[in-house]
Every structure is written in C-alpha cells, then in structure tokens.
Amino acid sequence: MRLKSRLSLWEKNGLISADNASAIQSFEKNRTSKQFAIGFQMVGVFSILLGFAMVIGANWQEIGPYAKLAAHFALNAGLGIWLLKLHKTIGQPNDRPILREGVCLALFGLTLTFIALIGQVFQLDGSTAAALILWMILSVPMMMMFPRSRFSASLWFVALIVTVIMGFFEFSKPLGDFEKGVFGYFLALFVPLSVFGDHCMTITRKYRPEFSDVFRRGSLVLLICAATLSGFWFYGAGNDFYRSASHGSQHYLFIGLITACAFVYIGFLKTCFKDHEEPSDWTVLNLCVAAMALPLFIVVDLDFLGALLFMGFWMGLGYIWQKAGEDKLVSLAITLVTLRLYIVFLEVFGGLMTNGIGLILAGCVLIGMVKGAKRFSNFLKETV
C-alpha cells in the first residue's frame, strides 16, 4: 500500500507517467511474490537443522558412536557434492537458487552439529565458545563462496556476532578488569568496522550484493548500538574500568591508541573506496567512534553527562540522515532524543511523581515535547 500511495503521489506531481507507475507496481508485485515461499522454505531448513541438533544432543546410544560419526560425515560430504553441482548451474536455465541456498544453509548448520557430535563421542570438554569459533573458521570459505540471499547473509552475520560475544566472555575470563575492558572496546569497534570493510570490497559488492547490503546495515546498526550503550555503560558500572587501570595514563594510552586506529582505518577505507554509494556512512562511522570513545575520555561521576552525550550523538545522527534524505531515521533520532529529554526531566523532578501534580506536569511536558519535536522535524524537512 505504501508503494501504491507513493507511486500515485509521484504520478500526481508529474514525476512518472501512468505507464511507469503501473510497470513499477507489477515489477514489485512479481519480485515480492516469491518472498512467502522462500521464507517458509528457509524456516523448514532451519527446523530440520534444529531437529538434527536435538537428536545429536539426546545422545541416543542404540547407534554406535562410530556409526553416528560415519553417518554425519557421509551426510556432510553428500550435501557438499550436491552444493557443488548446484553451484555449477548458476546463470544457466536449470539454476535453482532456493534449493542451492537451502543446501548451503543446511551444510552450514550441520558443520556445527558435527563439531558437537565429535565432542560428545570423544568426551571432549571444550566450551561452547570454542566450538562456535571453530565453526566460523571452518565455514567461512563456504559461506563466502556459495550463498547469495539476504536471509543467508543475515544468518551468517548474527552467527558471527554471537560467536564474537561468546568468545569474548569465554576467553577474557583470565584477564583483569582493565584488560577485559580494553579487549571489549577493541572488539566493539573493530568487528563492525571489519564487516563494513568487507561491504566496501568491490568483489563483495559486485558478486554478492545482498551480502554487501546486509554487512553495511548490520555493521552500522552494531556501531550505533555500541556508541549508544557506551555512555550508559561507562557512566553506570563502567567507571570501575577506569579505576582498574594501574595508572590513569595507561587507560588513556590504550583507549586513545585503539580510537586513533579506528579513525585511521575509516580514513583508509574512505580513500580506497571513493565511489562508495552512501557518502554519509563515513560521517556516521566517525561519529560512532567518537561517541564510543568520549565517555571513556571524560571520566566524571555524572549521570547527566551520559544523557548529554546520548542526545548529542542522536542529534548528530539525525542531522546526517536529514542531509542524506533518510526521513524515517530522522524521525527515529528525534523520537529517541525526545524520550531521553523526558527521562532527564523525570530524573531531575522525580520527587513530584509521588503526587498527582507531578504526573500531570510530566504528561503535559511530554505532550509538549513531542509536539515541539514534530514541528522541528517538519521545519527541517521543509528547509530541505
């Protein structure tokens, strides 16, 4: 419906002809008609994989351990050969993209269940994080080579992030609070930045456009979330991180070094990929790195500063998106800033909430602020 109303708006304003509008509508209808079938088939593949994992987890011992291993090996090898055959048909009339995608995802999942089975049969006491890291290493060539769909790209991206988070918690156990904080800060910056770097690569954009798009969006979302949470964390429990450094200069040295490396890396990407289709991304990346680093540099025990940084960061994002014409994201930024302002109001005048007057005032202020934010949003839109 949204497309229909937009097309009629464009048609009304003489931007496109009636024929164009009808052609676009039928093209989009045809393009999205497969989504239902693809989506449910992918859910089917996921369900089969989950079932497999559960059967392995049950450790049913009527089947001997070596028979289980041999059967799983044969299954993986068989799917691998099938995938190679399907890959060969890309671009030919007998190409079956949905089947190819399903087989690839099944092999991806079965690689993890095989790791679990080996651990179970030989009673290996490895951690879940170690199994996930091994899974990612073994499946990276496969996932970079065969799948093409947005669904596979999103699944792989989520698996990567889960692996990084679990790996961090598992392998940072022996580290002290300061080392853990520095390691976490490094990962929070460089994992999304590396994924964004992959999105920029010509080979990814040309041969796997869906992957490239998911990598771009995913890495930006991650960085924005990390930058938003950075202030919350540091002005909450994270202040201990600063105190855990043996000396203040140690804290500033490591954080400064990692932050500088991040800025240099973004500059390097910008120089190498000047033809990047979304120039506003570079500003967003730089703003995110700055917003993540700032709370770690301004070490004061003041909650209000966290709120200021939050609002400053989201107002900055709103401004960048306004210039890039991303009206939905602008609305998101304005809403978040408004809500944060409201929370500041509650924090400062929270005592009034004990009586009805406080509630009435809070309600009036909220309505006023939302109205004001809407007007401001409209004003910005009109200026563009």
Partner 1 sequence: MSKPENILIARLIALGMRYTRALAIFAIVLPLIFFGGSIAYHIQHKETAQSWRIDLEGYDPRDLLKGRYIQYRFAWNAKNSLSCDMFEKDCCLCLTDTNGTRINPEANFTPCRLASKQCDAVIKGESKNGIIDIGLNRYYVDERVATPLDRLLRRGEVRFAVDLLVTPRKGSKVYIERAPKLGELYVNGTALSELRQTGALSSDKR
58 binding partner 1? (CB under 8 A): yes
Q: Which of 215, 335, 207, 329 is nearest to 269 (CA)?
A: 215
CB of 179 to partner 1, least distance (A): 17
Minimum distance from CB of 107 to partner 1 (Å)?
8
Stretch that binds partner 1, among 59-67, 181-189, 287-295, 305-313 (CB under 8 A): 59-67
Interface residue with partner 1 among 67, 203, 348, 359 (CB under 8 A) is: 203
Is 77 one of the binding residues for partner 1 (CB under 8 A)? Answer: yes
Q: Does 144 bind partner 1 (CB under 8 A)?
A: yes
Q: Could you say which of 41, 53, 75, 80 contacts partner 1 (CB under 8 A)?
A: 80
Q: What single letter denotes the amino acid at residue 298? A: I
The dihedral of CA 27, 29, 35, 37: what is its sign?
Answer: negative
CA distances from 259 to 215, 228, 263, 296 (A): 22, 16, 6, 10
Q: Which amino acid is at 218?
A: G
Residue 30 to residues 17, 199, 359, 365, Cα–Cα distance (Å): 20, 28, 52, 48
Q: Does 145 bind partner 1 (CB under 8 A)?
A: yes
The one-character DSSP state at 358 is H
**Smallest separation, CB 315 to partner 1 (Å):** 37
Q: Binding partner 1 by CB under 8 A: which of 45, 52, 103, 114? A: 114
Q: Which amino acid is at 240?
A: D
Told to check if 60 binds partner 1 by CB under 8 A, we report yes
Maximal CA-CA distance, the chain: 74
Considering only the stretches 73-81, 229-237, 336-344, 371-379, report the one whose residues sit in contact with partner 1 under the rule CB under 8 A: 73-81
> How many of the other CB atoms lie within 10 Å of CB of 310?
25
Alpha-carbon dihedral sign for residues 134, 138, 144, 150: negative
Stretch that binds partner 1, among 140-148, 184-192, 222-230, 254-262 (CB under 8 A): 140-148
Positions touching partner 1 (CB under 8 A) are 57-61, 69, 73, 76-77, 80-81, 83-84, 87, 107, 111, 114, 118, 120-125, 138-139, 141-142, 144-146, 202-203, 206, 272
